[in-house]
Amino acid sequence: MKQTDPRHNRAPLPVSRREMLQICGGGFGMLGLTGLLADQARAATNANPLAVRSPQFPARAKRVIFLFMSGGPSHVDTFDPKPRLTAESGKPLPFAKPSLERTKTGNLLGTPFKFNRHGQSGIEVSELFPHVGDCVDDICIIRSMVADNINHNGACLQMNTGEQAFSRPSLGSWLTYGLGTENQNLPGFVVISPAQPAQGAPLWSSSFLPAAFQGTLVNDLKNPIANLHNPELDLSAQRDQLDVLKQLNQIHAEQRQQDSQLNGRIAAFELAFRMQTQASEAFDVESESDATKRLYGLDEKPTETFGRQCLMARRLVERGVRFVQVYHTQTVKRASCQLWDQHGGLRTELPANCAATDLPIAGLIKDLKGRGLLEDTLVVWGGEFGRTPTAENADGREHHPFGFTMWMAGGGVKGGQAYGATDEFGWHSTVNPVHVHDLHATILHLMGIDHTKLTFLYGGRNYRLTDVYGSIVKDLIA
Amino acid sequence: MPIVMRMALGAMALTALLGLLAAAAPPSGRNPAPHSRLVASTSPGGPQSDERYDTLFETRVRPLLVERCGACHGAQQARGGLRLDSADVLARGGGRGPAIVPGQPDKSLLVQAIRYDGALKMPPNGRLTPAEVAAVADWVRRGAHWPAMQARATASGPAGIAMAPATASTPLFWSFQPVKPQAPPHTKASAWVKSPVDAFILAALEAKGLTPAAKADRRTLIRRATFDLTGLPPTPEEVDAFLADRSPNAWAKVVDRLLASPRYGERWGRHWLDVARYADSADSRGLGGEGDISEAWRYRDWVIDAFNRDMPYNQFVTNQIAGDLLPPDDKMSGTIATSLLAIGNWGNGDADKDKILTDIADDQVDIVSRGFMGITIGCARCHDHKFDPITTKDYYGLAGIFFSTHILPKLTPKGAGETPLRVPLETAADRQRRADYTARLALLDKQVTTDRAEALKSYARSMLPETAKYLTAAWEVGRLPRGQGTTLAQFAAARGLRPYALRQWRDYLSNNDYRLMASTFEKPMGVEGVYGYHGPADLPSLTVNTNAEAKTILTFTLPPRSVCVHPGPVSGAAVGWRSPFTGAVEITGGVVDADPACGNGIEWMLDRRGRNGPESLALGAFENGGSQEFAKGKGGGSLSRIEIREGDSIEILVLPKGEYSCDTTLVNLTIREVGGTRTWSLAQDVLADARRVNPHADRYGNADTWRFYDMADSKRAAGAAALDPLLAAWRAAVGPLDARPDSPAGARTAVDRAAAEFQAKFALDDSRSPFWITRPEDEDVLPATVRERLSHEAAELDALRKSAPPPVIYANGAQEGGVPESPHAGFHDVRIHIRGSYARLGDLVPRRFPVVLAGDIQPPITQGSGRLELAKWIASDTHPLTARVMVNRIWQHHFGQGIVRTPSNFGKLGERPTNQPLLDYLATEFVHSGWSIKHMHRAIMLSATYQQSSVAPAKSLLVDPDNRLFGHMSRMRLEAEALRDNLLAVSGKLDVTMGGPAYRDFKTPRRTLYYMTVRSDRSGFGPLFDAADPTATMDHRTNSNVAPQALFLMNDPFAIAETKLIAQRLTAAAPDDPARIAAAYRLLYGRIPLPAEAKLGLAFLQRMRARPQEKTVAMGKEASGTLAWEAYTQILMCANEFLYVD
């Protein structure tokens, strides 16, 4: 069959997302893995590891966008107002110095920023996040997060894999392992980060899970997926190649017994051929309307990069990608793996980071909502830890895993609430602490997975994302 | 005494649990699922399985009761009459009644107390976390099942559960039992049996009513064997030779030839490197440096060499655990072998140093136990192993050995990364030779330096009478109107002066004590559009990023379209602007720390340098991550109008404040002509023509306007700008003349007089003198005899340098004793870390081996760490696991699956052997052969079993679909390395250079196992094709089949380049398409094409030639035979036959 080059004959966007998914996912059966025997599961994994698998129970969320502010965003300057901290700024920490400290703990440092009430819920959000503040009724702020590691590396690993030191599969890998992905023409787990994020690949590694569940890193926003174009052969010539390839493979197979691996490889080439046109389309942020681009701040220099990342994330989840992680690693001024690491520059760098992300994040939430996607898309915001309410130097804060803030929106989350609390100074998580493991358990739960039952046998033991920990935080769920 | 109690409980529970599990495990049928995804859920609220139930108790409840309650409510002390150390005493309760009501947490006193919601609040010294409370409540709600109690009850005999008594007579789990020598069993179809291996295989098949597969044909066999042993395809000539060899031992000859090939060690070494979690770099960017495992490649080469030499496996084992402790003649390689312990993956750079030490020991316990013994001891770090008879005592007995070993030279300060130990590898004699050489070199070097200095000094002294002449000439040169074309050299020639001396006098007069950065560089680390300058050392430097986006090089990031300076650790860098006019300027701009992650902030100074040397206009300093405008600095208020004379300079000095490593400072400097139209911007001028050498022109055509300086050795930074008094006097004398450039003759006399006065007092003859020759090329002014002597000495020194002994090589190995100066320094036992936490220590455990394997009575380890004893024990002929585990790994790589299908787990959660007699036979044979791996290859490959076809008899597919009985050969996909090597081999480009540091350029045509593996980088070719993830030990590669792999073969530049080479080879090999197709099949698949295949090929070539090729036409290439053949070759390369070996 003759196929035209889509560059000359661009197909109009399918009418609905559902329809498009059907088109894209065609030819791949839905597999509920729960009922399969292990060996069949393994065979299926080899044949098409990303085939859709039904969740264990009805899911509130079908996909996740995790906005990762690496470096550790300060909670007391953004989402966790602490009037007493401000009142006692400059005084010593009113309780015993922590036993584990990176540098000498300084005196209390009140936030230089104002907090304003937003929305019907009236939740206070820092002036640094005016647009996100406008969305607060859709957001569930968790002010009582707890993590275990005081360094970026360990903490980033824990936030992404549950483990601080050793190689473990990441959250996105577990999700794609458990659920597959809805669009077979795209990777199931995409990481968008224009500069190298802290720690690199271990944060999206599949570790001992099959490699197909590893995150695909997009760092070049203009050329997101490798090897999508042949420099010399056009699509019709490649089509001819694939037809001959298929026939040769059939001759090869006829002399042998049925082998799912051999058949799987034929399918993989067909899929690759389709990806050549469709993956480019999925990442093509430029095809969005001007209004949408403005919504994400693509028209303004400070917000352009992160806006592009967020818009790309929306395009991907819209097309059925299971898990998209968006790392904030580049501003107009600089690229860094730890943009939010304000040991200094609290009064300059932090506002710059917020300015670069505020509008795009709000744009993402509004856009998802407007498209009806927010109800089953879980948006998660946060970093690997927060920052000390005490000062480091004159204008900075240290790392702080003992009490910090993250938030979630959409995907079955109860918006318009601030859950849990730190003490009056923002140091310890005192009311309803939510550990990283609990957050993971809750995310899995929202995706229709019991975190204690998504396991993989490795090295003599059934591993889970939450190891032997984790409780679902029911109060976060609508 | 909570710890003692916990151990006692643990042991009881464990024995019972083991019994239960052993009884529950089927004798040989279905084994535990190797992968279980979403485990089928039980109905909500229904009873939980015992295992799940006990897991909750063992991992969450029991440790809590022991740690938080045990001290007051245990066997030693029972406050309030309550004990919480067994279910019956718990149920009985204390003075307040039963502590728990099973199934009803809300009514249970224990739960109420720990919830802190009644009068009774326990524990009194601090409440449990919500999660801990929930765990206890959950356990009570589910019935408060206490595994130890049930086990006791079970042992006393309820019907229905076959329970082995927990006594010494309990049969050990199969893998912990000694290897039993096996005689080959009797078989019916004995004609098929070629070797003992076959008897075991055939007996197992016959027991199921199966027959082996047919014998594979010779083409298939040689292709299989060649990939199997070397990871490369056979050449067409090798195939032909084997087909032609009709001798009875033709096959054995092929096997021996392949085993003798150096390619064999590369192939099988790589298999071991999977287990060894080998990486070339741990650094996230693969850049090496101090904190990295930069010597890891020596271990990789050691492994390859060990396989090629057929090092007995027991030595292979002992070397990797304790090679540094083996007799001296082996010491060199032995220490390299211990890199196995040093290249692990643990959280480097954690502020929590105790955690790092426990993580390192844990990594080592894990690699040694899983890698060599196929058991998972790691679980016992936190609790007694749930499934295998390994206790926390066993774990910390082993861990003590590794805590008494170090792979770090020391612990770094908090927050800093650890530097792995680099063990120098040299003998005492080497060391002595090196010391002698160093001494001789130093002596000669000193002599050469002294002689040269003496010669230069003497020359400088001889020039002193010329002082006045040079001084006045230099003064005049400085006053020459710019742009009139007289060069300094011409001026010198006209006066009969030495140009070098005149130049130096001119510089001396302007007191220019900074060095121009004379070296230029571009594309540092391959980054396009970046240019730079530096002085004699790499740093300080000045870097220009002409790209519109930020660029990261090594650790620093250059903002888009910027000029950045990078001072050295102690010395500054400066940018100077030399004024082409006299008037006033406005200075704006500032400096920005472009890399807040590094350094300690900076200091800056803005100077005006006139004829009287530099004077400060403004200065400032700021912390790391900050920035400052010049106007905001001290004195910055005056910058809107600065008077300047032609030839004067404005200089911005960027100085390290404290330590300045890996930092980048963005410099913005704009100078505007007050009352004029001209503006000079550093970034604009330099970016416009970044390649220009230093000094740099401006955009008005003035050469020499921008100058970049290296401030090493400058006194300015120290604030010592004080002028030489002699020069000051000279300036005072000639100064007023400057105001009148058209000075009358009288003034000239004044100059001469001042010069004469200067000369009378000027007596410098050291390196400060402008007569001192600083550049080798200026030495031609020295007398010929002196030059000859100096050059002779220099040659002698040069020769000595060239005869230097080879540099010391280092290994990232292990050494005896805990990390020096750490709490673990020296040799000692360690305490149990309760729940794996170093902050909660339990009993001290003597260093020893796991009891289940080594018995209760072990000789104590009294000297050293115990590593040597451990190594010898693991490598002993009678160890039940070591030989079994390795023969299984060998079998696995020949057949795709092991006899035990979980090669690094021979424990209860691993699979049982599908043919234990065969496994034990092979293990026995292995030990008897002197642990020869090559012997095992022969024993396996010469069998009929190995030579079976991959096409299975129909019945086998039904009865044994997974081929657990090895009744046919399993088809295998080429691994990442073999796939790429195969491409390189058939394209004829493969470079078989062995060893050395890893290469970084993927295009390098060497074998793939030498390609850089960066632990934190999971992008690229290797991970795409399921190469081993180097973050953890790997016993089995996954085999994914995903579209990006296809995209790689279809479109990646490497794949396309290889395709072209193969196509060229084929088109050159034969004159026409049919012959070329035949050649292609011969080269790529080792066979003749079928007529149908040839027909498909011919038709495709025809279609391709007829096809209008838009892309290639656009590229100016003819869409001729070349492209058609390339496209066809690519099909063959993508086909299953290229990637799968039958």
Determine which of A115-119, A294-298, B595-599, B757-761 has the lowest per-residue pLDDT on average.
B595-599
> How far does A92 lie from chain B, in Å, by closest CA?
23
**Chain A residues with beta carbon closer than 8 angstroms to that of B345:** 166-167
Identify which of B481, B483, B506 has the alpha carbon closest to the alpha carbon of residue B741: B481
* Mean pLDDT within B895-903: 94
* Mean pLDDT within B282-297: 73
Q: Give the A:B interface size as CB pairs under 8 Å.
A: 336
Q: Given a cut of 80, is residue A430 above it in pLDDT?
A: yes
Partner-chain contact A261 B1047, CB within 8 Å: no
The pLDDT confidence band at residue B724, using thresholds 50, 70 and 90, is low
- H/E stretch holding B733: helix B725-738
- What's the confidence (pLDDT) of residue B213? 97
- What's the confidence (pLDDT) of residue B1090? 97
Query: Contact, A423 vs A136, CB < 8 A?
Result: no
Q: How many CB atoms lie within 10 A of CB B797?
A: 16
Q: How far apart are CA A345 and CA A349, in angstroms?
A: 5
Q: How far apart are CA B1044 and CA B1067, in angstroms?
A: 30
Q: Tokens 């036979």 map to which residue?
A: B921
**Chain A residues with beta carbon closer than 8 angstroms to that of B275:** none
User: Phi and psi dihedrals of B833, rounded to 5?
Assistant: -95, 110
Q: How far apart are CA A134 and CA A363, in angstroms?
A: 11
Q: How far apart are CA B932 and CA B650, in angstroms?
A: 75
Does residue B515 sit in helix, strand or coil? strand
Q: How far apart are CA B387 and CA B379, in angstroms?
A: 10
- What's the confidence (pLDDT) of residue B990? 97
* Mean pLDDT within B374-398: 86
Question: Which of B:119-158 have CB within 8 Å of A?
Answer: 129-131, 134
Q: How many CB atoms lie within 10 A of CB B707?
A: 20
Identify which of A132, A65, A27 has the alpha carbon closest to the alpha carbon of residue A318: A65
Q: How far apart are the first and last CA of chain B?
A: 62
Partner-chain contact A268 B962, CB within 8 Å: no
Partner-chain contact B1100 A245, CB within 8 Å: no
Q: Does B43 touch chain A (CB under 8 A)?
A: no
Partner-chain contact A200 B962, CB within 8 Å: no
Q: Which residues pair with B1118 in a beta bridge?
A: none
The pLDDT confidence band at residue A22, using thresholds 50, 70 and 90, is very low
Produce one character per residue of B1011-1041: b if its CB has 16 or more CB atoms within 10 Å, e if not.
bbbbbbbbbbbbbbbbbbbbbbbbbbbbbbb
Question: Which of B:381-400 have CB within 8 Å of A?
Answer: 387-388
What's the Cα-to-Cα distance from B44 to each of A441, A455, B198, rounded to whole Å?
A: 17, 19, 51
- What's the confidence (pLDDT) of residue B76? 59
Does residue A149 sit in helix, strand or coil? coil
- What's the confidence (pLDDT) of residue B14? 37
Question: Which of A:119-148 have CB within 8 Å of B?
Answer: none
- What's the confidence (pLDDT) of residue B919? 98
DSSP secondary structure of B791-811: HHHHHHHHHHHHTPPPPPEEE
- What's the confidence (pLDDT) of residue A246? 94
Determine which of B610-614, B820-824, B920-924 has the lowest per-residue pLDDT on average.
B610-614
Q: Given a cut of 80, is residue B294 above it in pLDDT?
A: yes
Question: Which of B:1027-1056 have CB within 8 Å of A?
Answer: 1029, 1031-1034, 1038-1048, 1050-1053, 1056
Burial of B1106 by CB count in 10 Å (0-12 exposed, 13-18 middle, 19+ buried)? Answer: exposed
- Pairing between strand B679-681 and B665-673? antiparallel
**Chain A residues with beta carbon closer than 8 angstroms to that of B1130:** 241
> How far does B739 lie from chain A, in Å, by closest CA?
47
Does residue A73 sit in helix, strand or coil? coil
pLDDT digits (tens, 9 = 90+) for A452-461: 999 988 766 7
* Mean pLDDT within B991-1013: 95
Partner-chain contact A459 B1090, CB within 8 Å: no
* Mean pLDDT within B813-828: 93
Amino acid at A95: F
Which candidate from A199, A449, A455 shows the least CB-CB separation from B36? A455
- E-strand stretches of A42-99: 63-68
Q: Given a cut of 90, is residue A15 above it in pLDDT?
A: no
pLDDT digits (tens, 9 = 90+) for A207-223: 888 777 888 888 888 88
Which of A175, A232, A419, A471 is the best mutation test for B, with the most CBs of B within 10 A?
A232
Query: Contact, B55 vs B17, CB < 8 A?
Result: no
> How far does A105 lie from chain B, in Å, by closest CA?
14
The pLDDT confidence band at residue B830, using thresholds 50, 70 and 90, is very high
DSSP secondary structure of A437-452: HHHHHHHHHHTT--TT
Alpha helices in A371-458 (DSSP H): 436-446
- What's the confidence (pLDDT) of residue B98? 76
Which candidate from A56, A249, A335 shows the least CB-CB separation from B41? A56
Burial of A438 by CB count in 10 Å (0-12 exposed, 13-18 middle, 19+ buried)? Answer: buried
Residue B213 vs residue B327, higher pLDDT: B213
* Structure token digits, residue B612: 């009287």
Residue B140 vs residue B925, higher pLDDT: B925
- What's the confidence (pLDDT) of residue B745? 56
Q: How many CB atoms lie within 10 A of CB B448?
A: 18
Q: Given a cut of 90, is residue B85 above it in pLDDT?
A: no
Q: How many CB atoms lie within 10 A of CB B368?
A: 23
* Mean pLDDT within B915-941: 97
Q: Which residues pair with B671 in a beta bridge?
A: B587, B680
Partner-chain contact A211 B1024, CB within 8 Å: yes
Largest CA distance in chain A: 82
Partner-chain contact B1042 A212, CB within 8 Å: yes
Partner-chain contact B347 A151, CB within 8 Å: yes
Query: Contact, B567 vs B540, CB < 8 A?
Result: yes
Looking from the CA of B1049 toward its CB, the CA atoms found within 13 Å total 31
* Mean pLDDT within B668-694: 86
Q: How far apart are CA A430 and CA A144, in angstroms?
A: 7
Q: Does B1137 touch chain A (CB under 8 A)?
A: yes
Query: Helix axis angle, A436-446 relative to A171-179, nearest 10°?
Result: 20
* Mean pLDDT within B719-746: 59
pLDDT digits (tens, 9 = 90+) for B592-612: 887 766 667 788 889 888 766
Question: Which of A:81-100 have CB within 8 Å of B?
Answer: 100
- Whether the ω angle into residue B536 lies within 30 degrees of 0, i.e. cis, is no
Does residue B526 sit in helix, strand or coil? helix
* Mean pLDDT within A406-411: 98
Q: Tokens 């003034």 map to which residue?
A: B747
* Structure token digits, residue B62: 């029991």
- What's the confidence (pLDDT) of residue B10? 37
Q: Given a cut of 60, is residue A37 above it in pLDDT?
A: no
Q: How far apart are CA B1130 and CA B1100, in angstroms?
A: 12
Partner-chain contact B905 A459, CB within 8 Å: yes
DSSP secondary structure of B315-361: HHHHHHHHGGGS-GGGHHHHHHHTHHHHS----TT-S-HHHHHHHHH
Residue B578 zone, left/alpha/beta (φ > 0; ψ -120 to 50; rest): beta
Query: Contact, A207 vs B1032, CB < 8 A?
Result: yes
Q: Given a cut of 70, is residue B481 above it in pLDDT?
A: no
Contacts of B10 (CB under 8 A, 6+ apart): B383, B384, B391, B392
**Residue in B with minimal Cα distance to A464:** B37
- What's the confidence (pLDDT) of residue B511? 58
Which of B59, B220, B1042 is the best mutation test for A, with the most CBs of A within 10 A?
B1042
Which candidate from B40, B1053, B1111 shows the least CB-CB separation from A234? B1111
> How far does B1044 lie from chain A, in Å, by closest CA?
7
The pLDDT confidence band at residue B485, using thresholds 50, 70 and 90, is low
Whether this prediction's pTM lies above 0.95 is answered by: no
Partner-chain contact B38 A344, CB within 8 Å: no
Residue B412 vs residue B469, higher pLDDT: B469
Mean pLDDT over all residues of chain B? 83
Which of B21, B30, B31, B38 is the best mutation test for A, with the most CBs of A within 10 A?
B38
Burial of A27 by CB count in 10 Å (0-12 exposed, 13-18 middle, 19+ buried)? Answer: exposed
Question: Which of A:154-173 have CB within 8 Å of B?
Answer: 154, 157, 164-167
The pLDDT confidence band at residue B418, using thresholds 50, 70 and 90, is confident
Percent helix, strand and coil across chain B, each to the nearest 5: 45, 10, 40
**What torsion, rounded to 10 degrees, do the Cα atoms B474, B475, B480, B482 define?**
80
> How far does B821 lie from chain A, in Å, by closest CA?
20
Q: How far apart are CA A15 and CA B195, in angstroms?
A: 67
